[in-house]
Structure 1
Amino acid sequence: MTHINALDPGASPLDYYGYELRRYREAAGLTQRQLGDIINYTGSLVGQIETARKLPTPAFSERSDAALGTGGSLTRLLELVMRSQLPAWFQQVAELEARAIQICTFQTHMIHGLLQTEGYVRAVLGALDQTDLDDRTAVRLARQRIFEKEEPPVLWAILSEAALHQEIGGREVMRGQLAHLLSFDGNPRINIQVLPFSAGAHAGLTGSFTLFRFARDPEILYTEGYGSGHPTANPDTVKDCSLRYDHLQAAALSLKDSADLIRRVMEERYGEHRDPDGGPVA
């Protein structure tokens, strides 16, 4: 455990964040409790974040920046902090997401992480392990901040229709998740297509994959296994999967028809059921 008087800012991005928070707070002449009162958090939480025992949130960072006049330094640090908390094998993927100008992904049975709601994330991450679930959920959701950049990447996501029917987290969570997908309708930078069951045999039967495209660097293909990720820039492999993606996109429904199918599944499968007397049934 990090001692309150012996922070090592070089130990990790989280330690560096805590070190900087304490430095700004002390320069402002505030105690932990006084800062907590100003930003509407407990002094204990301020202390835990300063000693790298608790992850900061975007709201905490923004309020602290405003209270301490940091010019947004803590909020800018937050992206590095969150990325450092991802599983080691996935950290490179998060860096690819942050650098890419275009992300093209095909998902066979789940909604992609960049499109997941908090409830969906909690259900996925907590399926076998509830440890530190709040922090792990926050870390995954933080990846979505790439869409808040001045020039965010363009995302093309093809979801198998199975991903809409796989009930993760219960009906209410799925209803919220599908509504979230529909919220991107009309957003030219986040495009969602559904590969319907009626497509039959298709070019993605070997599994999910993601292609990252950059302004100047070679394209990278990413596939995933249990507890491991496999990025590659091998030209032949990338070329093969680019062709597969083109065929999947051709077989998928249009953006409009995809939204219509998502809406229909949301209403028919996850909508509120009623008994014969008109009362809602869980």
Structure 2
Amino acid sequence: MARTPKGRALGAALRRAREDRGWKMREFAAAIGRDPGVLSRWETGERTPKPEQVAQILTALGINGERYEEIVALAYGTEAPLWVATSLPEQRQQLAAYIDYEQKAKTVTDVNPLLVPGLLQTKGYMQAMMSSGGIAPGEVVTRVAIRMSRREVLTRPNPLQLLALVGEAVLHQAIGSRDVMVEQFRHLLDMCRYPNIDLRIIPYDGGWSPALESQFSLIEPENAIPVVHVEIRDSGIFLHDEDAVAAYRRAAEMVLRVALSPKDSMRRIERAIERWENSG
């Protein structure tokens, strides 16, 4: 049975719960009368335990209350073609799954018509965006720290291959002060020089493309099924169904056809920097 985003999130939650209690894999498997190989496959998301099996594990670990309910809820619908996260706890579980996919991905195609993609954002841009979104100051600090740490996938040995298809509107939309914008676009130019980063601007005169419909990320891990993540207000959607992923891959190819070349994209960003430096 193939791994799914929700199945991987469930496995990661079970692993964290076990490790938080200080149990080694084999010791805990013996304590609950389970084969350690089976338990390992549950924790990696390669196999999915039944809800009653999840309940047994959590009870043995002494997990109760909200955390118990959140983890058990993940055991339902793990093989559904999509995973919609609407509650805050499930959004956090989904973010953890997204980061796990991102860390293990070989390539990511990020189509973003209105914002700089998360992996290419500066700290100032992140803070301005999140603060304007009504997020509590303490939560902003936490989210910025998480997003900053995620950028390591672009500069580590054997880095992630990123194709970022960014709408030209991003170069005009003010997120924070003029200095924040200039810093952000200079950062984009710096990142464009990495061989594993291909940034293309989707021009205003490019006509219709799927980029006008929504932002989405196509994540292709090394040894797992590819997935698509679509982020909307107050919720996120993971899709892993083969037909759905294929549809989004075709959409990304359509966007790429209307996007500028890397060289022309850099020129467009350079002009944006000049415009912001001379504004105000």
- The aligned amino acid for 1:184 is M
Separation (CA, whole Å) in 2 of partners of 1:124 and 1:153: 25
**Structure 2: gaps of 5 or more residues:** 1-15, 23-88
Aligned to 2:120: 115
1:13 shift after superposition: 8.1
1:271 alignment partner, one of 255, 274, 277: 277
Aligned to 2:95: 90
Separation (CA, whole Å) in 2 of partners of 1:190 and 1:216: 21
Aligned to 2:262: 255
1:131 alignment partner, one of 126, 137, 154: 137
1:183 alignment partner, one of 180, 190, 193: 190
Separation (CA, whole Å) in 2 of partners of 1:120 and 1:223: 21
Question: Quick one: percent identity of the two aligned structures?
Answer: 27
**SS of residue in 2 equivalent to 1:213:** strand
Q: Give the CA RMSD over aligned residues.
A: 2.3
Greater RCO, CA 8 A, separation 6+:
2
Structure 1 residues 159 and 14: CA distance shift in structure 2, 3 A: farther
Separation (CA, whole Å) in 1 of partners of 2:161 and 2:149: 17
Aligned to 1:75: none
Separation (CA, whole Å) in 1 of partners of 2:277 and 2:137: 31
Count of aligned pairs? 196
2:211 alignment partner, one of 198, 204, 209: 204
- The aligned amino acid for 2:130 is L
Aligned to 2:59: none
1:117 shift after superposition: 0.2
- The aligned amino acid for 2:121 is Q
Point out the structure with max Rg over C-alpha.
Answer: 1
- The aligned amino acid for 1:131 is P
Whether contact under 8 Å (1:89, 1:227) holds in the other structure is no
- The aligned amino acid for 1:183 is D
1:195 shift after superposition: 0.1
- The aligned amino acid for 1:188 is P
Whether contact under 8 Å (1:90, 1:228) holds in the other structure is no
Give TM-score scaled by structure 1 length. Answer: 0.65
1:11 shift after superposition: 6.5
**SS of residue in 2 equivalent to 1:207:** coil
Separation (CA, whole Å) in 2 of partners of 1:186 and 1:125: 27
**Structure 1: gaps of 5 or more residues:** 1-9, 17-83, 274-281
1:12 shift after superposition: 9.4
1:126 shift after superposition: 1.0
Report which of the two has the higher share of helix.
2
Aligned 1:13-92 pairs, distance under 5 A? 87-92=92-97
Separation (CA, whole Å) in 2 of partners of 1:161 and 1:234: 31
1:260 shift after superposition: 0.2
